[in-house]
């Protein structure tokens, strides 16, 4: 089961519908309507943190849950605000983006691994963000996995834990291969589950 933490965003259910189309078992809870203990008690196989307004440190339990779930090495995917939260939890700074991006299409280059396995490079993705992770503050535990054509970090992962983040919106109809990226996350979740069995 994938537990989706909804950061009060209109895009959340587009992500949920994509997961349903991949035959995932999905439960959705808003970030202020569940405790960390309740979330961990659901024994989800993976966590997905949705986009949302504001700064990641103001999004209910999200950052506290990321910390707690990381201790259990739970697979996680952060999208937009969720991506920023993962960066912030591990020590990166969230700053104003060089350019405000609202519904803008960028070309994304990536490392071809993890979320990007089997995907062509230089794909199109839709961005909605005014904040970004400051690369100079990225901790050694996190590595950049994707960039936009303007150089902004678009993807990251933890070097030893199954934790991934993407700044753009995979659920947008204008993002190429967004469904495949979520399918790749589900494969990461399944691989982790088999290792723990």
Which CATH number covers residue 187?
3.40.50.880
> Which strands, in side-by-side order, build the sheet including 123-133?
26-30, 2-6, 46-49, 76-79, 163-166, 153-158, 142-148, 94-110, 123-133
pLDDT (average), residues 44-63: 96
Q: Identify the pLDDT of residue 23.
A: 98
Number of domains in the chain: 1
pLDDT (average), residues 69-75: 97
**pLDDT tens string 150-165:** 999 999 999 999 999 9
Q: Identify the pLDDT of residue 197.
A: 55
C-alpha to C-alpha distance for 22 and 52, rounded to whole angstroms: 23
N-to-C CA span, the chain? 15
φ, ψ at 79 (rounded to 5°): -115, 125
Give me the catalytic one of 63, 88, 152, 171: 171
Within 13 Å and on the Cβ side, how many CA atoms surround 62?
34
Give bridge partners of residue 158 from the DSSP assignment: 142
**What are the residue ranges of helices labelled H in the chain?**
12-21, 36-41, 62-71, 81-89, 178-196
Contact status, residue 87 vs residue 138, Cβ threshold 8 Å: yes
Give me the catalytic one of 88, 164, 169, 190: 169
Res 73 pLDDT > 80:
yes
Q: Identify the pLDDT of residue 103.
A: 76
Q: Identify the pLDDT of residue 5.
A: 98
**pLDDT tens string 7-18:** 999 989 999 999
φ, ψ at 75 (rounded to 5°): -60, 135
Structural domain for 119, as ranges: 2-196
Give me the catalytic one of 80, 129, 152, 158: 80
Known active-site residue 83: no
C-alpha to C-alpha distance for 27 and 33, rounded to whole angstroms: 13
pLDDT (average), residues 110-121: 96
Q: Identify the pLDDT of residue 44.
A: 98
Known active-site residue 164: no
Span of 81-95, 97-111, 114-128 with lowest mean pLDDT:
97-111
Q: Identify the pLDDT of residue 101.
A: 76
Six-digit token string for 167: 């700044």
Known active-site residue 192: no
Six-digit token string for 23: 């035959």
């Amino acid at each position: 089961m994938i537990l989706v933490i909804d950061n009060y965003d209109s895009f959340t259910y587009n992500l949920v519908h994509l997961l349903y189309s991949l035959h995932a078992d999905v439960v959705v809870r808003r970030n202020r309507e569940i405790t960390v203990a309740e979330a961990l008690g659901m024994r989800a196989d993976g966590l997905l943190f949705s986009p949302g307004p504001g700064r990641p440190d103001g999004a209910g339990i999200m950052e506290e849950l990321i910390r707690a779930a990381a201790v259990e090495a739970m697979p996680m995917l952060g999208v937009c605000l969720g991506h920023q939260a993962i960066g912030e939890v591990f020590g990166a700074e969230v700053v104003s983006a060089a350019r405000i991006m609202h519904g803008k299409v960028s070309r994304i280059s990536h490392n071809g691994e993890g979320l990007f396995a089997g995907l062509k490079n230089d794909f199109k993705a839709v961005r909605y963000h005014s904040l970004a992770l400051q690369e100079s503050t990225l901790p050694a535990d996190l590595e950049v996995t994707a960039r936009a054509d303007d150089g902004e970090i678009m993807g990251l992962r933890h070097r030893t834990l199954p934790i991934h983040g993407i700044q753009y919106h995979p659920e947008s109809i204008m993002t190429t291969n967004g469904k495949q990226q979520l399918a790749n996350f589900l494969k990461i979740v399944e691989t982790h589950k088999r290792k723990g069995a």
